[in-house]
Amino acid sequence: MKEFSLIDTYFRSVSFQRKDVLLGIGDDCAITQIPAGQALATTTDTLISGVHFLPDASPKAIAQKAIAVNLSDLAAMGAEPAWLSLSLSLPNVDEQWLQAFSDGFKELTEYYSVQLIGGDTVQGPLAITITAQGFVTADQALKRSGAKPGDFVYVTGSIGDAGLGLDILLDKVQVENPQHREYLLNRLHYPTPRVFAGTSLRRVASACIDISDGLLADIKHILNASQCGACLQLDKLPLSNALLESVDRDRAFHYALSAGDDYELLFTVSEEQKSSVDRVLACSNVPATCIGQINGAVGKVDLKLDEQSYAYSQTGFEHFSSAQPSNSAKRA
Amino acid sequence: MKEFSLIDTYFRSVSFQRKDVLLGIGDDCAITQIPAGQALATTTDTLISGVHFLPDASPKAIAQKAIAVNLSDLAAMGAEPAWLSLSLSLPNVDEQWLQAFSDGFKELTEYYSVQLIGGDTVQGPLAITITAQGFVTADQALKRSGAKPGDFVYVTGSIGDAGLGLDILLDKVQVENPQHREYLLNRLHYPTPRVFAGTSLRRVASACIDISDGLLADIKHILNASQCGACLQLDKLPLSNALLESVDRDRAFHYALSAGDDYELLFTVSEEQKSSVDRVLACSNVPATCIGQINGAVGKVDLKLDEQSYAYSQTGFEHFSSAQPSNSAKRA
């Protein structure tokens, strides 16, 4: 099968068709139209087999996670997703794999009304790079740099689930309850980008990031960009029943603080806007939990449990780090 | 070295700073502004070590080729380049390699006034994916689908050089003349995207594509999209002295027809616009040569040499094809 017919067969018709795409797949470039008054938000994320997902992961999960991690970046900016470009590196042409991958791709692009506008298909080690583009007005973009001392720290949904899901997959932890097990694995394989929550928070949040590397690692990006510190209350962390009933409390904190891959939004809100959080998030049906407060101790995170300091040193996963946390084996 | 400091060190300051980039590297997304009345052109290309370049290629050449092949797609659309996103997959952190790569990146982004606005750095096999974005008005975009019977077929610069350059590199061909050898290798390693020619041709060309896979393979994309055929005069092909003096005539035709990697523009022009070609290209200092004419034989290419039919069956390189031309060994 030739490269071009491959693209034609599996990707030309997979995605939602948008009116602002004047020219889609099949020419040297896609041509798209930005709504008047909007700026363009662009993000790129790559997933590599054996690094970001296990080599035997299902093609549907790979496709949907690759989309989700990119839409999550748009969400963290408060941007409305519009278009995707896909670079797919494949060791060989496996039609069954491609069909499942493109089916998964189609499902999520339709759900989020985003259109695949182009890309590249090359022969090489299995890897997926997606560039996602979306809209936000320049003055409403949720930057990392807007947090101020006194702001409250929130996180959407629950955190730590994907980390435990990975350890289940790697046979490091046994979870007997089949519903918990399925829930945790789904949180790892099918993260939900908080797209609607992100756009809802535009006028409310002072800073925002998505949790990909772990709560501690990602809040530090906000703290560094905003030149401030934070105090987090561990007893406030939103932890799922599946997590709490599967491991002891300290291990649950560890997953929540360091495991990453949850793709929840971590955001800060000024005291004046605090009363708006629940209201604006109601329409997106995503709960948010206040887990602490910003302070002036630049770059520092104080962890408290029941008013006491909580000693914890593990930071989130970073590529190329010589000291990788043990829960990141999949990405080592 | 951590991933984030790696990005900071090598890429945060490498590129030209544009006023339309409201937020660059360092947040969840870049935020950029499109000029009023312009549409956005987007293209993505991936280069993989051992597939698109030899594993020992210089980091400067890899960086500049990765940029060039993307800018070439924008040029083929008549778009003015603006922003790049870079996904860089590296097996390990080699500071010398990264410095040379980012130096090469900086040089070309400054030359073309494009800004690196973000991306991803991951640990994996050496691969570079770039998404390039640029501007063009929707009605002036140079599509593949606009060619009509009677239109004249043009190509910029000279073709076949990069293919011979590759065969030199692979020790398949010996070129004794050191100047020719250097010229041919430079054509392979440092292709020139015809950016200024592309924007100059906006009101003149009826269809356009860049030659990445070979003249024959790429003209077929125009013919299929435009539902027409073409007759090409081999004696009109623009062949460099370096090519003509290094191999015999038939071999030179082979490189020009099938070797690809030249990144010249292949475009069609109606009879009414024919007199404008030289005038609009004069400012870009790129010659264009009329090599044939479009006809109604849908999807067919007739090759003529001195008014006689020329028998030739080799088509350009395609990924995943079981019958790869011998000159594509680097990409097998």
**Would you tell me how many other CB atoms lie within 10 Å of the CB of residue A184?**
28
Chunked in runs of 10, what are the mean pLDDT values of chain B (332 residues)?
62 81 93 97 95 91 97 98 95 89 94 93 92 97 97 98 96 96 97 97 97 95 97 98 97 95 97 94 91 97 94 62 37 30
Average model confidence (pLDDT) for chain A?
91
Mean pLDDT score, A26-33: 95
B28 is in an annotated binding site: yes
A170-229 residues touching B, CB cutoff 8 A = 208-210, 225
Residue B279 in marked binding region: no
- What's B235's DSSP letter? G
**A120, B74: Cβ pair inside 8 Å?**
no
Superfamily of domain B142-316 in the CATH hierarchy: PurM-like C-terminal domain (3.90.650.10)
Alpha-carbon distance B306 to nearest alpha carbon in chain A (angstroms): 33
- Asked whether residue A119 is marked as a ligand-binding residue, the answer is yes
**B101 among annotated binding-site residues:** no
Tokens of B111: 């030359």
Per-domain boundaries in chain B = 3-139, 142-316
Choose among B265, B304, B43: nearest CA to B156: B265
B212 is in an annotated binding site: yes
pLDDT in tens, A229-272: 999 999 999 999 999 999 999 999 999 999 989 999 999 999 99
Percent of residues, chain A, with pLDDT higher than 70: 91
For the stretch A101-114, pLDDT in tens is 999 999 999 999 99
Fold of B3-139: 60s Ribosomal Protein L30; Chain: A; (3.30.1330)
Which among B50, B121, B134 has CB closest to A319?
B121
B166 Cα to chain A: minimum distance (Å): 19
Indicate the helix (H) or strand (E) that contains B120: strand B115-123
Lowest mean pLDDT among A29-43, A83-97, A219-233: A83-97
Shortest Cα distance, chain B CAs vs residue A274, angstroms: 23
Residues of A in contact with B32 (CB under 8 A): 39-40, 42
B53/A contact by beta carbon, under 8 A: no
Chain-chain contact of A4 with B138 (C-beta, under 8 angstroms): no
CATH topology for the A143-317 domain: Phosphoribosyl-aminoimidazole Synthetase; Chain A, domain 2 (3.90.650)
Mutate to test the interface with A, among B2, B28, B86 (most CBs of A within 10 A): B28
Q: Give the pLDDT confidence score for residue B84 in this predicted structure.
A: 96
Name which of A12-21, A58-67, B26-35 the model is least confident about: A12-21
| CB within 8 Å of A185: residues ≥ 6 apart | A165, A168, A169
Tell me, what's the pLDDT at A5?
A: 60
Determine the pLDDT at residue A314: 65
From CA B32, how far away is CA B42, in angstroms rounded? 14
User: In whole angstroms, what is the distance from residue A35 CA to residue A38 CA?
Assistant: 6
Q: Tell me whether A32 touches chain B (CB under 8 Å).
A: yes
pLDDT tens column, A100-154: 999 999 999 999 999 999 988 888 899 999 999 999 999 999 999 999 999 999 9
B317 in a known ligand binding site: yes
DSSP A65-103: HHHHHHHHHHHHTTPEEEEEEEEEEESS--HHHHHHHHH
Residue among A10, A9, A87 at smallest CA distance from A44: A87
Taking Cα atoms as reference points, which of A112, A135, A144 lies closest to residue A42? A135
Residues of B in contact with A39 (CB under 8 A): 22, 31-33
Measure in Å the smallest separation between the Cα of B320 and chain A Cα atoms.
Answer: 6
Tell me what pLDDT residue A8 has.
66
pLDDT at A33 (0 to 100): 97
For range A52-57, the mean pLDDT: 90
Question: DSSP labels for A239-294?
Answer: --HHHHTTS-HHHHHHHHHH------EEEEE-GGGGGGHHHHHHTTT--EEEEEEE
Give this complex's ipTM.
0.91
pLDDT at A332: 27
pLDDT value at residue A326: 37
Q: Report the distance separating Cα B266 and Cα B154, nearest Å.
A: 6
Cβ distance of B43 and A118 shorter than 8 Å: yes
- Per-residue pLDDT at B3: 57
- Amino acid A15: pLDDT: 64
Q: What is the pairing mode between strands A39-48 and B265-269?
A: unpaired
